[in-house]
Structure 1
């Protein structure tokens, strides 16, 4: 939790400093003032969407590099052949292009999907998952990840994050300008040093609420991926896979860039629960058990 907050503070500070430099250049070179809300919105959108879209475009490369994942280009054994064949079948049934399939070395039971589009994606599983799960459970996990790809979750989350980033940047600076002018009594001149402190604090506060909204969408997306996994592999297999996770669950070691797209995520209560990317496993299992018997077994 403290690592997440520290990273969040550092990221927002970097964005604020960079945005301030760019706006200062615009003001000095082109005569554009900070009070020009149209320019502020454009700049906020460039920063807000720019980072999330660049991360989306680089997501496969970053995931491979950060996890050390080995992409299966030519299966070396029967287990790798089964992984490739299973993902290929599920991708065909979902109407998407075959994702790259990879294995990464980690003791935890986990898997993730990432990529810039439905037809340019990566599905990876941990060595811990291959050791701990039987084929039925592993098939359900793969179906869950393929469903993330088929649902376009990576693109959706990037766009949502872009909108929220833009909203935070604009709102923090508009409100900061109002507060600064009220405190200083300077309603005509440019912003003072206090303005930048106020904006920094507002970036943190509004950014925290934005993170809660993004994580709410992420949790909703997990229920959809579970339902998609049940449709592809069968409800009983999906339930069994989640039950296995609940029996052996440990804190995810996935890098931040792909942690939200893993099969499992961190658990917590209170405020920490609002920042969880995944619903509790017991809630996901209960939701699957309420599904129609029509997806009890795979078609």
Structure 2
């Protein structure tokens, strides 16, 4: 959850800086070729430049930001048998998944947690918490690692960035269009932009931004099912189910903080629209259903 929050926060921050900069430099004035009519083609290009700049810069900064925010210590020379096992396990899973060896790191946090990030599938970082190493069995940890390696192999961060870029583009485009229409049709401003343009554009951008976040989070939830299936293929379906069951048990006995809930997320109907992860029960049911449909489980 924190990895996605960092990505979205960086994306929004970059969008705000670019929007203000372009406005101060007068670029938005170019959207009106004759000072009266809105140039929709220019507006679309303008929106895409700002929208994709925010998401792509966030993508390229994702690994360094995650390392800094989480205090990840990269394992270069294993200090003990556990670290050696982690490196060997990730190396084996990455080879089987068809990607280059990711960086492997550990961060200090008492609850089970893990994440994968990086700007492409062959430059990934897989990090696990000390709580995960202390509270889960080796087969469960292997399944969690397989889940994260699958995120990297599926290119989920790149796809998330592209989807974010697309929704950013439409948020900016539609908010500016709404401001222009109110200016011209409601307030009858004949040339340039009146105060209503900026007010309506800002309000529309905030409202549409909330809707856009729901779309991005829907993709995030969908990709978790794919990563669970990948983890089952790499470590065994029984181990993947056991890892999720262990997380559910820990969640029920001691709820995980929302900002740190990387593998687990449960929410009400409204909150569920903005949840980055589906409920654990649904993920467990999906894995069991896939096993029964296949007729035989993956490596147990």
TM-score (norm 2): 0.88
The CA distance in 2 between the partners of 1:226 and 1:88, in whole Å, is: 19
Decide whether the 8 Å contact of 2:228 with 2:287 is kept in 1: yes
Aligned match for 1:110, one of 110, 113, 118: 113
Decide whether the 8 Å contact of 2:182 with 2:196 is kept in 1: no
The CA distance in 2 between the partners of 1:163 and 1:25, in whole Å, is: 21
| Structure 1 residue 180: Cα displacement | 2.1
Q: Which residue of 2 aligns with 1:139?
A: 142
Q: Is the partner of 2:247 in helix, strand or coil?
A: helix
Q: 1:227-276 CA deviation, whole Å, 9 max, x = no partner?
A: 1100110111000000111111212444xxxx7xx323x43212211000
Q: Which residue of 2 aligns with 1:228?
A: 230
How many corresponding residue pairs?
283
Q: Is the partner of 2:45 in helix, strand or coil?
A: helix
Is the counterpart of residue 298 in structure 1 residue 295 in structure 2?
Answer: no
Q: Which residue of 2 aligns with 1:45?
A: 48
Q: Is the partner of 2:290 in helix, strand or coil?
A: coil
Q: Which residue of 2 aligns with 1:165?
A: 168
Decide whether the 8 Å contact of 2:291 with 2:298 is kept in 1: no
C-alpha spacing 1:53/1:152, structure 2 compared with 1 (3 Å): same
Decide whether the 8 Å contact of 1:144 with 1:263 is kept in 2: no
Q: Counterparts of 1:136-215 in structure 2 under 5 Å?
A: 136-186=139-189, 188-215=190-217
Alpha-carbon RMSD across the aligned residues, in angstroms, is 2.3
| Structure 1 residue 91: Cα displacement | 0.4
Q: Is the partner of 2:76 in helix, strand or coil?
A: coil
| Structure 1 residue 18: Cα displacement | 3.7
User: Which stretches in structure 2 are left out of the alignment for 5+ residues?
Assistant: none
Decide whether the 8 Å contact of 1:13 with 1:200 is kept in 2: no
Report the more deviating stretch, 139-148 or 175-184. Answer: 175-184
C-alpha spacing 1:16/1:199, structure 2 compared with 1 (3 Å): farther
The CA distance in 1 between the partners of 2:269 and 2:229, in whole Å, is: 27
Q: Counterparts of 1:91-106 in structure 2 under 5 Å?
A: 91-106=94-109
Is the counterpart of residue 251 in structure 1 residue 252 in structure 2?
Answer: no
Q: Which residue of 1 aligns with 2:279?
A: 280
Decide whether the 8 Å contact of 2:108 with 2:130 is kept in 1: yes
TM-score (norm 1): 0.88
The CA distance in 1 between the partners of 2:59 and 2:170, in whole Å, is: 19
User: Which stretches in structure 1 are left out of the alignment for 5+ residues?
Assistant: none
